[in-house]
């Protein structure tokens, strides 16, 4: 341990004036058995600091074959090691200059012990959650309705929220949001994705009931719907279908749903397209309009990110292309899109790259980085920056 006199002698040798320095002098020493492997340092922004100070937790998630990510309650961050040329010391109780009052007139030595050290730290970078695996897990055992008489429910590959949190690299809030997007629901405590044919069957029951009762699509009574359709399907599934394809509201203490025209039309279009490689566009539009409930109008913009129209072919065609089926990695996504079509207009490709955009990033910025633009018949088109294997 150094004394004040030893410190003052060192200052003289270094030609430093004592009056130019803080009056509190920290003398550091290493504790016993200190190792660089004892601690890991992590750099947090103000939001995450407040998150920790409030008593909330941060969780590191990832299987053995995945790059680890860190999750708060509602956001996901990449974990990357940042090296530093300076040795970082972990000194509990050590005060920084702004924490010192300098109220004492004479210098004093404060002895502080180093608990750990390292020359790197974890750097956090906000990223998109990895949610494709969530859909893959739930599709291992999709829900096809209640087991019929004599049949047993398949109990393998069913997941609770806790199971999903342990397997999916995303925050709980991001997982819940995605479960809503993919129309998943809880059945006997497990999160299940509906088999698509079963989901369309439920939607058909609802729209047929609305038509037979001559109700407005903007005012579908929940209780009456449950009572009328209870002999056909579980009430929980009917209400889930209304939640997926409508907006819930209350009027005079009675619950109603306003069916969303775009969602209903989109669901029926997916049903028509799922078994066809390509569909004559004009014929598809005719069949599609005939298939939706009376009073609803179909439009091609309802199919952004789920179907692709080819205006260059003769006759014009449409095919199923869902954004959730594309690679999550940005470069792999662009490579895949350019194998499907050599040149894209921004209007056509934007729905398939919108989800790749980070905060304050536009599809235009992504296209500038990963594609090359040119003019074709007066229209700006984009193609790959490198040869793409077909």
Candidates 76, 164, 21, 90; CA nearest to 359 is 76
- Residues 59-98: b if buried by 16+ CB within 10 A, e if exposed: eebeeeeeeebbbbeebbbbbeeeeeeeeeeeeeeeeeee
Q: Confidence band (pLDDT; 50, 70, 90) for 20?
A: confident
Mean pLDDT of 318-328: 94
> Which stretches does DSSP call E strand in the chain?
24-30, 42-43, 59-61, 69-71, 76-90, 108-114, 116-127, 185-187, 190-192, 220-221, 246-251, 254-259, 279-280, 307-310, 317-320, 344-345, 371-376, 379-384
CA–CA distance, 199 with 69 (Å, rounded to integer)? 34
10 and 111 share a domain? yes
Is pLDDT at 253 greater than 80 in this prediction? yes
The answer to whether the beta carbons of residues 288 and 268 sit under 8 Å apart is: yes
pLDDT value at position 275? 82
Residues in the chain: 390
163 in the same domain as 77: no
Residues 122 and 171 both lie in one domain: no
Residue 174's pLDDT is what?
A: 96
pLDDT for position 370: 93
Instruction: Please report whether residue 270 resides in a domain.
Output: no
User: What pLDDT does 103 receive?
Assistant: 64
What is the pLDDT at residue 270?
96
- Indicate the pLDDT class of residue 372, thresholds 50, 70 and 90: very high
The region that residue 157 occupies, defined by phi over 0 for left and psi between -120 and 50 for alpha, beta otherwise, is left
Whether 390 shows a pLDDT value over 60: the answer reads no
Report pLDDT for 102.
62
Give yes or no: residues 316 and 375 share one domain. yes
Same domain, 13 and 122: yes
Pair 51, 135 in one domain: no
In a domain, 152, yes or no: no
pLDDT of 308: 95
- 43 and 114 assigned to the same domain: yes
CB 322 within 8 A of CB 337: no
Q: Which residues contact 244 (CB under 8 A, 6 or more apart)?
A: 183, 199, 263
Q: Which of 236, 259, 282 is the last residue of a domain?
A: 259
Same domain for 8 and 119? yes
Question: Quick one: average pLDDT of 16-33?
Answer: 79
Q: Are residues 21 and 119 in the same domain?
A: yes
Q: Of the given ranges (78-82, 125-129, 199-203, 357-361), which has the lowest mean pLDDT? A: 357-361
Structure-token match 């997007």, residue found: 181
Q: Kindly state whether residue 274 falls inside one of the protein's structural domains.
A: no
Q: What is the pLDDT of residues 130-159, one digit of tens each?
A: 899 999 999 999 999 987 765 667 778 899
Percent of the chain with pLDDT strictly greater than 90:
64
Q: Is the dihedral of CA 274, 276, 278, 279 positive or negative?
A: negative
Report DSSP letters for 325-372, one per residue.
Answer: GS-SSHHHHHHHHHHH-S-EEHHHHGGGTGGG--TT--HHHHHHHHEE
Task: Answer yes or no: is pLDDT of 202 > 60.
Answer: yes
Sequence-distant (≥ 6) Cβ neighbours of residue 132 within 8 angstroms: 324, 328
Other C-beta atoms closer than 10 Å to the C-beta of 367 total: 19
Same domain, 176 and 74: no
- Calculate mean pLDDT across residues 354-358: 89
The two structure tokens encoding residue 217: 């699509």
Same domain, 66 and 12: yes
Residue 215 lies in a domain: yes
In a domain, 40, yes or no: yes
Q: Where would I find the H helices in 186-280?
A: 196-212, 222-229, 235-245, 261-273
Residue 196 phi/psi, 5-degree rounding, is -60, -40
Residue 278 within a domain: no
pTM: 0.84
Question: Does residue 275 lie within any of the structural domains?
Answer: no
In whole angstroms, what is the distance from residue 82 CA to residue 62 CA? 20
- Residue pair 345/380 in contact by the 8 Å Cβ criterion: yes
At 279-304, the pLDDT tens digits run 999 999 999 999 999 889 999 999 99
Residue 29 has pLDDT above 90, yes or no: no
- Categorize the per-residue pLDDT at 231 as very low, low, confident or very high, splitting at 50, 70 and 90: very high
Query: What confidence score (pLDDT) does residue 389 get?
Result: 62
pLDDT digits 0-9 by tens, 170-184: 999 999 999 999 999
Token representation of residue 240 = 């889930």
Do 65 and 122 lie in a common domain? yes
Computed on alpha carbons and rounded to an integer, the radius of gyration of the chain in Å comes to 30
- Contact between 330 and 370 under an 8 Å Cβ cutoff? The reply is yes
| Structural domain boundaries enclosing 237 | 196-259
Task: Please enumerate in sequence order all residues whose Cβ is within 8 A of that of 267, keeping only pairs 6 or more positions apart, or say none.
Answer: 199, 200, 203, 245
Domain count, the chain: 4
The CA-based dihedral angle spanning residues 179, 183, 189, 195, taken in that order and rounded to the nearest 10 degrees = -130
pLDDT of 368 over the 60 cut: yes
**Residue 200's domain is classified under what CATH number?**
1.10.10
The band of 160, judged by pLDDT with boundaries at 50, 70 and 90, is very high
Range of weakest confidence among 110-114, 205-209, 313-317 = 110-114
Q: Does 276 fall in a domain?
A: no
């Amino acid at each position: 341990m150094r004394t004040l006199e030893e410190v003052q002698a060192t200052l003289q040798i270094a030609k430093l004036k004592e009056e130019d320095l803080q009056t509190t002098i920290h003398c550091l020493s290493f504790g016993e058995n200190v190792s660089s492997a004892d601690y890991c340092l992590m750099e947090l922004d103000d939001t995450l600091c407040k998150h920790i100070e409030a008593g909330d937790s941060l969780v590191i998630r990832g299987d053995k074959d995945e790059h680890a990510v860190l999750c708060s309650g509602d956001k996901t961050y990449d974990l990357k090691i940042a090296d530093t040329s300076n040795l970082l010391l972990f000194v509990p109780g050590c005060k920084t200059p702004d924490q010192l009052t300098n109220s004492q007139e004479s210098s004093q030595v404060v002895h502080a012990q180093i608990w750990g050290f390292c020359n790197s730290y974890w750097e956090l970078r906000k990223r998109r959650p990895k949610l494709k695996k969530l859909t893959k897990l739930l599709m291992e055992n999709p829900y096809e309705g209640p087991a019929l008489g004599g049949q047993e429910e398949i109990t393998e590959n069913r997941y609770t929220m806790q199971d999903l949190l342990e397997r999916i690299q995303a925050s709980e809030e991001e997982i819940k949001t995605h479960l809503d997007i993919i129309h998943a629901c809880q059945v006997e405590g497990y999160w299940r994705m509906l088999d698509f044919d079963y989901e369309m069957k439920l939607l058909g029951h609802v729209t047929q009931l609305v038509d037979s009762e001559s109700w407005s699509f903007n005012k579908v009574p929940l209780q009456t719907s449950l009572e009328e359709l209870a002999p056909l399907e579980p009430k929980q599934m009917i209400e889930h279908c209304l939640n997926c394809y409508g907006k819930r509201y209350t009027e005079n203490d009675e619950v109603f749903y306003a069916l969303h025209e775009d969602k209903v039309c989109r669901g029926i279009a997916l049903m028509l397209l799922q078994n066809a490689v390509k569909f004559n566009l004009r014929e598809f539009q005719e069949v599609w309009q005939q298939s939706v409930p009376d009073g609803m109008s179909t439009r091609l913009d309802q199919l952004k990110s789920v179907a692709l129209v080819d205006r260059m072919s003769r006759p014009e065609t449409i095919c199923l292309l869902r954004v959730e089926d594309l690679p999550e990695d940005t470069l792999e996504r662009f490579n895949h899109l350019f194998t499907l079509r050599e040149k894209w207009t921004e209007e056509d490709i934007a729905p398939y790259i919108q989800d790749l955009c980070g905060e304050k990033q536009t599809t235009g910025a992504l296209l500038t980085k990963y594609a090359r633009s040119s003019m074709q018949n007066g229209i700006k088109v984009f193609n790959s920056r490198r040869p793409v294997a077909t």
